[in-house]
């Protein structure tokens, strides 16, 4: 067991710190909010130049073939800077599915686009009323037609879909068990997006699919394997988001530590009061335990499905609760200023709340782990 | 960064598991598993030390020259984990994990030769005399004095919370040898034989029916001067050393993991409306939280063992282990009590003869759970209260 970073990991982190430390803070975040997709496309191009977008893409497809640990370390820095770029969805999640897809020609072309920054892909899986962790769908279905398929259905809250050119749509294939995963161009006839912002400035969309005609090559995976692949990809995206949450918590703690030394009441810095000190100590404990659980999730990322899912849910549980403890107390020690858009802590609060809800919220992960313990 | 466990360690674990299975007497294991009291049977503890010592594994964490095994921190972690999982009697931690390391690090050749074998071979039980009635969290204010007269120290004062003092042959004490300097500078580390004239022990009746914690009165106790460890006035430094040396021990991770497994047995065994408690989603949710929190604690322990490079001092990470470790000991034991419902309120004598006979309504996991949970309220008090730990964290992690 070795927690030390490799030379490549250190270089990656240094480049990330260099680029993002200048592009962070309330001014920057408020600017991004007004951009069409909630982030700066020029910075996305820089991500590509630095090789970050190629990181989880397999070497055979022109990527760097980085490990999930590399991905997590980069995402800690992204989280610290509250980056709104769709890294977890368009890079981590999409690259994993495409890397294992049946039709290599189509998949490799898409992977090349992910790696060089020219193509963003979003997952459209969740449906209203469905369990986000269940690897099955209700309404959306695909009917074999000629050489291809016709897709119908509706999806909810497809994260980062507004800025994506293609979607990975999960659908039940008529007459088949399991799950079909389809690569669908957003501009295809019959695809309609209703885009909206989330409270952290990122974007999501509801999607209607009406008689969308797809060629056979659009099918990335099917049957049991389709479901399995989607589960793996979601868990990897979840790890990236947990890493962002850990980075966000550690940054929030630093901000609060500085604030309580500057803010004076009763003639003294509020950080000199034990009541405030103990709140900060609790925040430190929570963030420390959160990072420990990120390591636990990473150590189990390639284990068989049941153990991987249990480890991931355990991590989501600790990190989700820690994120709430840190951000809620973070606002509390800021007093009224914590509720303004002008102080960083309110941005961290909104990000950490959004992260806790993605790919299965706290309650769902508690349930999944509890069922695993007594399975 | 390599976070997966080295596959070689799995072989080591199997070897250790087989070893414990071979040498741990079944009757001893059964007594430890079914004990009502929180503390292990003293006779078993010493007998177990002797068995381990016969195989050279009584003090594996010591340097090889003093009888250690030369294992890596991960190997020691696995060894401890397997001991607890197998219901082996606990070490007499005062001797093996506190005094021993202080003696081999700072003690004279005489002290090393005299006391290290005694500890290693399970010949003695040890009492730790740090706290005083007026010096708890503010330990540096301690007043028990040791005055040098020729070749002896004359010790006067009072200690409290001295665990196991009634059964201990020897004790190690923090005493004030210099009243003229800063409080921390005037403290020394002294070994005292518990049957020395002037030493009086009073057992304190506890919340759980045990009387393990004691008061120790020292009245003109004459102690040979060569039983002072290291330099006079350095006791505070040595005490801090032993706490830092054992900074992952305070997590109680092995113990809590064993108790979580026991809680699962209770959840499967106890029924409500004909269904096991383990089928109840609310119970499952409680287990999920506890299991996840213990995994986080375990990884935090591994991070300290591997000396992960951190932006904050390592002592901050150690305080996290103490805070979360003590809280989780309390959570797991209270979960056990809660699972038992009103059965958990039944009083069991801590030293029953004969032991309670289990039946269907009163399985052998019932006696002891509440006894242990009651005294586990101490976990957030001893060794630096939770609040003192938070003060430390505010300073180390935030500079407050």
Does the distance separating the beta carbons of A281 and B391 come in below 8 Å?
A: yes
Q: Which helix (H) or strand (E) holds A171?
A: strand A166-173
Residue A358: per-residue pLDDT: 97
CB-closest option in A3, A284, A289 to B296:
A289
Residue A1: per-residue pLDDT: 82
Residues A367 and A300 in one domain: yes
Contacts of A276 in chain B (CB under 8 A): 400
Compute the half-sphere exposure of residue A214: CA atoms within 13 Å on the CB side of its CA: 32
In a domain, A275, yes or no: yes
Mutate to test the interface with A, among B270, B306, B332, B400 (most CBs of A within 10 A): B400
Residues in chain B: 400
Beta bridge partners of B181: none
B299 touches chain A (CB under 8 A): yes
DSSP conformation class of B204:
P
Instruction: Please report, for the domain that includes residue A306, its CATH number.
Output: 1.20.140.10
DSSP conformation class of B2:
B
Residues A211 and A266 in one domain: no
Those residues whose C-beta lies under 8 Å from the C-beta of residue B364, and which sit 6 or more positions away, are B34, B356, B358
Strands B152-160 and B145-149: antiparallel
| The residue to which tokens 């005694």 are assigned | B118
In Å, how far is A74's CA from the nearest CA of chain B?
A: 13
Mutate to test the interface with B, among A281, A313, A314, A364 (most CBs of B within 10 A): A281
In Å, how far is B323's CA from the nearest CA of chain A?
A: 8
- The percent of residues above 70 in pLDDT, for chain B, comes to 100
In a domain, A281, yes or no: yes
Contacts of B1 in chain A (CB under 8 A): 2-6, 9, 69, 73
Contacts of A257 in chain B (CB under 8 A): 397-400
Residues A158 and A255 in one domain: no
Residues A42 and A160 in one domain: no
Q: How far is CA B32 from CA A195, B24, B83, B85, B269, in A?
A: 63, 11, 11, 11, 20
- Which residue of B lies nearest to A10 if distances are taken between CA atoms? B1
CA–CA separation, B174 and B121 (whole Å)? 25
3-state helix, strand, coil in chain B (%, to 5): 50, 15, 35
Residue B376: per-residue pLDDT: 97
| The residue to which tokens 């005299």 are assigned | B114
3-state helix, strand, coil in chain A (%, to 5): 55, 15, 25
- Its sign, for the CA torsion B194, B196, B199, B200, is positive
Reported ipTM: the value is 0.96
CA–CA separation, B380 and B40 (whole Å)? 21
Residues A191 and A255 in one domain: no
Query: pLDDT for A271-280, tens place per residue?
Result: 999 999 999 9
Residues A28 and A40 in one domain: yes
Instruction: Please report, for the domain that includes residue A158, its CATH number.
Output: 2.40.110.10
Beta bridge partners of B173: B129, B190
Total tally of structural domains belonging to chain A: 3
Contacts of A370 in chain B (CB under 8 A): 281, 284-285, 287-288
CB-closest option in B264, B284, B323 to A371:
B284
In a domain, A346, yes or no: yes
Does the distance separating the beta carbons of B323 and A318 come in below 8 Å?
A: no
* DSSP state letters, B91-135: P-HIIIIIIHHHHHHH--HHHHHHHHHHHHTT---EEEE--BTTB
Residues A96 and A132 in one domain: no
CA–CA separation, A81 and A17 (whole Å)? 9
Query: pLDDT for B67-115, tens place per residue?
Result: 999 999 999 999 999 999 999 999 888 999 999 999 999 999 999 999 9
Q: What is the CA radius of gyration of chain B?
A: 22
Band of residue A226 on the pLDDT scale cut at 50, 70, 90: very high
| Residues of chain B numbered 123-162 and touching chain A (CB < 8 Å) | none
The closest of A183, A196, A166 to A37, measured between CA atoms, is A196
Query: pLDDT for B11-69, tens place per residue?
Result: 999 999 999 999 999 999 999 999 999 888 899 999 999 999 999 999 999 999 999 99
Residue A266, Ramachandran bin (φ over 0: left; ψ between -120 and 50: alpha; else beta): left
Q: What is the CA radius of gyration of chain A?
A: 21
- Which residue of A lies nearest to B260 if distances are taken between CA atoms? A373
Residues in chain A: 375
A290 touches chain B (CB under 8 A): yes
**Domains of chain B as residue ranges with CATH:** 7-91 (no CATH), 126-234 (2.40.110.10), 247-398 (1.20.140.10)
Please count the residue pairs, one from chain A and one from chain B, whose beta carbons lie less than 8 angstroms apart: 150
CA–CA separation, A311 and A369 (whole Å)? 8
Q: How far is CA B236 from CA A49, B190, B247, in A?
A: 56, 12, 16
In a domain, A34, yes or no: yes
Q: CA dihedral in degrees (A61, A55, A40, A340; nearest 10)?
A: 150
CB-closest option in B278, B285, B399 to A366:
B285
Does the distance separating the beta carbons of B295 and A314 come in below 8 Å?
A: yes
DSSP conformation class of A357:
H
Does the distance separating the beta carbons of B284 and A69 come in below 8 Å?
A: no
CB-closest option in B2, B296, B300 to A1:
B2
Residue B246 scores a pLDDT above 80: no
Q: Where does a domain end: A99, A119, A139? A: A119
Contacts of B308 in chain A (CB under 8 A): 3-4
Q: How far is CA B58 from CA A220, B61, B104, B243, B253, in A?
A: 58, 9, 15, 20, 20
In a domain, A67, yes or no: yes
CA–CA separation, B297 and B328 (whole Å)? 9
Strands A166-173 and A141-145: parallel
Residue A266: per-residue pLDDT: 97
Q: Where does a domain end: A177, A192, A222? A: A222
Residue A306 burial class via C-beta count within 10 angstroms: exposed 0-12, middle 13-18, buried 19 and up:
exposed
Residue B355 scores a pLDDT above 80: no
Alpha carbon distance, N-terminus to C-terminus of chain B: 32
Q: Which helix (H) or strand (E) holds A371?
A: helix A362-373
Cis amide bond preceding A324, omega within 30: no
The closest of A124, A93, A121 to A106, measured between CA atoms, is A121
Residue B353: per-residue pLDDT: 73
In Å, how far is B179's CA from the nearest CA of chain A?
A: 31
Q: Where does a domain end: A155, A188, A222? A: A222
Residues A319 and A287 in one domain: yes
CA–CA separation, B125 and B95 (whole Å)? 7
Does the distance separating the beta carbons of A6 and B400 come in below 8 Å?
A: no
Tokens of A219: 């099918």
- Which residue of B lies nearest to A273 if distances are taken between CA atoms? B400
Residue B242: per-residue pLDDT: 85
Residue B225: per-residue pLDDT: 98
Do A162 and A191 form a contact (C-beta atoms < 8 A)?
A: no
CA–CA separation, A165 and A163 (whole Å)? 7
- Which residue of B lies nearest to A364 if distances are taken between CA atoms? B285
Residue A297: per-residue pLDDT: 98
Residues A255 and A187 in one domain: no
Residues A36 and A66 in one domain: yes
In Å, how far is A329's CA from the nearest CA of chain B?
A: 15
SS3 string of A215-254? CHHHEEECHHHHHHHHHHHHHHHHHHHHHHHHHHHHHHHH
In a domain, A2, yes or no: no
The closest of A242, A231, A234 to A73, measured between CA atoms, is A242
Instruction: Please report, for the domain that includes residue A61, its CATH number.
Output: 1.10.540.10
Report, as an integer, the average pLDDT of B323-350: 97
A265 touches chain B (CB under 8 A): no
Residues A111 and A218 in one domain: no
Q: Which domain holds residue A250?
A: 225-373
Could you give the angle at the alpha carbon of B84 between the alpha carbons of B80 and B86, nearest 5°? 115
Mutate to test the interface with A, among B292, B311, B386 (most CBs of A within 10 A): B292
Contacts of A374 in chain B (CB under 8 A): 264, 267-268, 278-279, 284, 287
Beta bridge partners of A221: A181
Residues A217 and A273 in one domain: no
Report, as an integer, the average pLDDT of A29-47: 97
Do B203 and B211 form a contact (C-beta atoms < 8 A)?
A: yes
In a domain, A242, yes or no: yes
Residue A322 scores a pLDDT above 90: yes
Query: pLDDT for A93-130, tens place per residue?
Result: 999 999 999 888 889 999 999 999 999 999 999 999 99
Other Cβ atoms less than 10 A from the Cβ of A308: the count is: 17
Contacts of B391 in chain A (CB under 8 A): 274, 277-278, 281
Beta bridge partners of A196: A204
Residue B220: per-residue pLDDT: 98
In a domain, A1, yes or no: no
CB-closest option in B5, B324, B391 to A277:
B391
């Amino acid at each position: 067991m070795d927690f030390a970073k490799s030379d490549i990991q250190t270089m990656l982190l240094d480049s990330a710190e260099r680029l993002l430390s200048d592009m962070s803070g309330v001014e920057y975040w408020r600017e991004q909010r007004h951009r069409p997709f909630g982030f700066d496309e020029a910075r996305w191009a820089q991500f590509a130049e630095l090789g970050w977008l190629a990181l989880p893409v397999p070497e055979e497809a022109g990527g760097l073939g980085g490990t999930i640990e590399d991905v997590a370390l980069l995402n800690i820095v992204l989280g610290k800077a509250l980056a709104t770029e769709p890294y977890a969805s368009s890079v981590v999640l999409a690259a994993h599915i495409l890397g294992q897809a049946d039709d290599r020609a189509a998949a490799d072309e898409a992977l090349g686009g992910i790696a060089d920054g020219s193509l963003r892909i979003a997952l459209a899986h969740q449906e209203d009323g469905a369990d986000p962790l269940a690897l099955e769908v209700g309404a959306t279905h695909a009917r074999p037609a000629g050489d291809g398929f016709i897709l119908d259905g509706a999806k909810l809250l497809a994260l980062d879909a507004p800025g994506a050119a293609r979607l990975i749509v999960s659908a039940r294939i008529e007459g088949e068990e399991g799950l079909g995963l389809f690569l669908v161009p957003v501009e295809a006839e019959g695809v309609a997006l209703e885009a909206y912002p989330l409270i952290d400035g990122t974007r999501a969309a509801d999607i209607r699919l009406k008689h969308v005609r797809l060629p056979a090559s659009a099918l990335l995976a099917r049957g049991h394997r389709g479901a399995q692949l989607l589960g793996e990809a979601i868990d990897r995206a979840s790890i990236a988001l947990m890493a962002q949450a850990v980075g966000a918590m550690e940054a929030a703690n630093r901000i609060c530590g500085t604030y309580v030394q500057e803010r004076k009441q009763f003639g003294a810095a509020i950080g000199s009061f034990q009541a405030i000190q103990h709140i900060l100590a609790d925040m430190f404990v929570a963030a420390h335990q959160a990072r420990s659980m990120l390591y636990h999730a990473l150590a189990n990322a390639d284990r068989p499905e049941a153990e991987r899912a249990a480890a991931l849910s355990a991590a989501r549980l600790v990190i989700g609760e820690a994120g709430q403890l840190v951000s809620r107390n973070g606002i509390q020690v800021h007093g009224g200023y914590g509720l303004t858009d002008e102080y960083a802590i309110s941005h961290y609060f909104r990000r950490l709340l959004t992260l806790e809800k993605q790919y299965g919220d706290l309650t769902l992960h508690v349930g999944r782990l509890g069922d695993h313990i007594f399975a | 960064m390599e976070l997966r466990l080295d596959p070689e360690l799995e072989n080591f674990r199997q070897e250790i598991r087989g070893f414990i299975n071979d040498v741990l007497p079944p009757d001893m294991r059964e007594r430890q598993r079914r004990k009502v009291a929180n503390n292990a049977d003293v006779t078993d503890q010493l007998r177990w030390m002797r068995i381990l010592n016969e195989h050279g594994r009584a003090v594996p964490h010591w340097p090889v020259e003093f009888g250690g095994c030369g294992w890596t921190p991960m190997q020691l972690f696995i060894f401890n984990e397997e001991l607890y999982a197998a219901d082996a009697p606990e070490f007499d931690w005062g001797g093996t994990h506190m005094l021993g390391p202080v003696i081999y690090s700072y003690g004279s050749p005489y002290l090393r030769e005299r006391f290290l074998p005694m500890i290693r071979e399970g010949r003695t039980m040890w009492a730790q005399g740090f706290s005083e009635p007026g010096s708890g969290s503010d330990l540096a204010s301690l007043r028990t004095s040791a005055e040098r007269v020729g070749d002896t120290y004359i010790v006067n004062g009072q200690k409290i919370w001295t665990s196991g003092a009634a059964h201990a042959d020897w004790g190690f004490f923090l005493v004030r040898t210099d009243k003229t300097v800063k409080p921390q500078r005037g403290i020394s580390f002294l070994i005292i034989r518990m049957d020395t004239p002037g030493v009086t022990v009073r057992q304190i009746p506890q919340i759980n029916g045990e009387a393990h914690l004691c008061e120790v009165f020292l009245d003109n106790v004459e102690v040979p001067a060569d039983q002072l460890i290291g330099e006079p006035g350095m006791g505070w430094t040595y005490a801090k050393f032993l706490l830092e040396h054992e900074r992952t021990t305070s997590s109680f991770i092995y113990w809590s993991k064993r108790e979580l497994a026991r809680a699962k047995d209770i959840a499967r065994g106890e029924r409500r409306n004909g269904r096991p408690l383990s089928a109840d989603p609310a119970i499952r949710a409680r287990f999920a939280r506890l299991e996840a929190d213990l995994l986080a604690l375990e990884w935090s322990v591994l991070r300290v063992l591997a000396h992960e490079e951190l932006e904050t001092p390592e002592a901050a990470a150690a305080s996290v282990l103490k805070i979360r470790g003590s809280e989780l000991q309390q959570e797991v034991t209270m979960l056990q009590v809660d699972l038992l419902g009103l059965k958990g309120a039944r009083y069991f004598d801590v030293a029953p003869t004969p032991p309670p006979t289990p039946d269907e309504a009163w399985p052998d996991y019932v006696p002891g759970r509440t006894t242990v949970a009651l005294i586990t309220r101490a976990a957030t008090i001893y060794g630096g209260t939770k609040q003192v730990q938070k003060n430390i964290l505010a300073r180390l992690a935030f500079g407050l």
